[in-house]
Amino acid sequence: MGKHNEKNTYKIMGVKTIHLLLTVALFFVFWLLFRYGELQFQGYGYRYNYFVALLYGVLVHVFNRTYNAYLLGYSRVRTLVFGLFLAQFFSVVITYILTAIAWEQLHAPWIFLILLIIQLALDVAWAYLATTYYFHLTPKRRTLLIYRNELDKKRFGVIRGKPTERLYQVTDELQYDGSFTELEDKLEDFDAIFVAGVNSRCRNGILKYCKENAIPGFFLPHIGDEIMQEAVHVKTFDSPVLYVNRTALNPEYAIIKRAFDIVSSGLALVLLSPIFLTTALAIHFYDGGPVFYKQTRLTKDLKHMTDRTVVIVTHRPAAFGICDRVLRFTGKGVEDQKN
């Protein structure tokens, strides 16, 4: 069984490699058309083309991993296509920008739009055929669902109608929250295990069982699991220790983020100022209410913003009758005053 699974792994890897090579080959052809205006396979500085194709291939590979574009069996065909197309699009854009900087001039990028359309057609065909081939190679696994209560079972969700249903067939469900020793014998008849909400000792036992027997295990994470993902391994003690604390932004990231926020918000204010002005005039002339107002708001480190009393007077028909009232927003809450 192990050798059979290893063979299938290499076959799927080959399918993914074929798609990557076809993607890079298509780019190489259109790159030659972009640079020379024709398919030219020799000339001065021709090695430069190979470096550009290599750069594009590396970018596509990185973006494919980022968007899980090769996650066969667990993603729908349309999700795979979307991830592949995003990877190709960003790779083309970055390659074009870098070459424009190196050449110190811009060329019309329309040839790359044709490339992206052809690659999109390739992505659709490959995602469908590769998914079909993957399910042909991978048999269904008899799966046991273990849960503590109905709420945990509901939180885990269902796999009906999803690609996972073609891999994992839930043949039995068990509501359990006892010790692992009493549960171990019941796990032998299953090829995969779903776990939701059981106590930590039992869950640790199931984890070890899945690891030792090479059985796929899917565990609904607890709050502690989410926190421990960011833990730092400390090796200064006699035993390995995980250090957990409140995550703080790196100084470099904080500076870049702040600069980006200021620049992007400033540009947005300039670009959207006509809309803001039109909206402000509409508010002022329609109901005479204030355009800007202040309220007490919690900010970083539980600090309070300055607040101001705002008075909104309405004398207009409402959905359920005639309104003639004053809503006064103060620091103590909302005061409703009828006129």
| Of the ranges 32-46, 56-70, 178-192, 309-323, the best mean pLDDT one | 56-70
pLDDT given at position 320: 40
Higher per-residue confidence, 46 vs 176: 176
Using pLDDT thresholds of 50, 70 and 90, give the confidence band for residue 155: confident
Segment 147-162 shows an average pLDDT of 75
Q: Are 202 and 265 found together in one domain?
A: no
DSSP for 156-182, please give it: H---TTSGGGGTEEEEEEEE--S-STT
Rounded to whole angstroms, the Cα distance separating 155 from 203 reads 17
Segment 33-60, tens digit of pLDDT: 988 888 877 767 678 889 999 999 999 9
pLDDT given at position 221: 85
Q: What percent of the chain clears pLDDT 70, i.e. is strictly above it?
A: 81
Segment 208-231, tens digit of pLDDT: 999 998 888 988 888 888 888 878
pLDDT given at position 214: 87
Q: Are 8 and 129 found together in one domain?
A: yes
Contacts of 53 (CB under 8 A, 6+ apart): 24, 27, 28, 31
Q: Where are the alpha helices (DSSP H) in the chain?
A: 2-36, 47-66, 77-103, 110-137, 150-156, 200-212, 223-228, 251-287
Segment 131-140, tens digit of pLDDT: 999 988 888 8
Q: Are 52 and 129 found together in one domain?
A: yes
Six token digits for residue 4:
């059979």
Task: Say whether pLDDT at 64 is over 90.
Answer: yes
pLDDT given at position 293: 67
pLDDT given at position 313: 47
CATH code for the domain of 190:
3.40.50
Q: Are 130 and 91 found together in one domain?
A: yes
Element (H, E) at 325: strand 325-330
Higher per-residue confidence, 121 vs 181: 121
Task: Say whether pLDDT at 329 is over 70.
Answer: no
Using pLDDT thresholds of 50, 70 and 90, give the confidence band for residue 246: confident
In order of 43, 78, 116, 207, the CA distances from 23 in angstroms are 24, 18, 10, 39
Higher per-residue confidence, 299 vs 84: 84
Q: Are 163 and 123 found together in one domain?
A: no
Domain containing 37: what range? 2-137
Segment 139-149, tens digit of pLDDT: 888 999 898 88
Q: Are 204 and 321 found together in one domain?
A: no
Q: Are 182 and 234 found together in one domain?
A: yes
pLDDT given at position 158: 63
Q: Are 43 and 147 found together in one domain?
A: no
Task: Say whether pLDDT at 104 is over 60.
Answer: yes
Q: Are 164 and 131 found together in one domain?
A: no
Nearest to 146 by CA among 118, 122, 168, 170: 170
Element (H, E) at 249: none
Q: Are 21 and 83 found together in one domain?
A: yes
- Number of folded domains that form the chain: 4
Choose one of 137, 163, 179: the last residue of a domain: 137
Q: Are 226 and 133 found together in one domain?
A: no
Q: Are 167 and 226 found together in one domain?
A: yes
